[in-house]
Amino acid sequence: MTDDDAPASLEKGERIAKRIARSGLCSRRDAERWIAEGRVVVDGHKLASPAHLVTEASTIVVDGKPLRAAQATRLWRYHKPRGLITTHRDPQGRPTIFERLPADLPRVISIGRLDFNSEGLLLLTNDGALARRLELPATGWLRRYRVRVHGELDAARLEKLADGIEIDGVRYGAIQATLDSRKGSNAWLTLSLREGKNREVRRVIEALGGEVTRLIRIAYGPFQLGYLAESAAEEVAARVMREQLGSGDGSTSARKRGALRERADRRR
Active site residues: 115
Q: What are phi and psi of 179, to 5 degrees?
A: -85, 115
Report the chain's terminal Cα–Cα distance, integer Å.
41
Q: Which residues pair with 15 in a beta bridge?
A: 53
Alpha helices for 110-268 (secondary structure H): 128-135, 155-160, 200-207, 238-245, 253-267
CA distance 243 to 128: 20
- Quick one: which of 133, 59, 21 has its CA closest to 34? 21
Cα dist from 63 to 37, 42, 114, 116, whole Å: 10, 12, 31, 32
CA distance 135 to 123: 11
User: CB neighbours of 11 closer than 8 A, spacing ≥ 6?
Assistant: none
Strands, E, within 140-235: which ranges?
143-150, 165-167, 170-172, 175-183, 186-193, 211-220, 223-224, 233-235
The conformation of residue 85, written as its DSSP 8-state character, comes to B
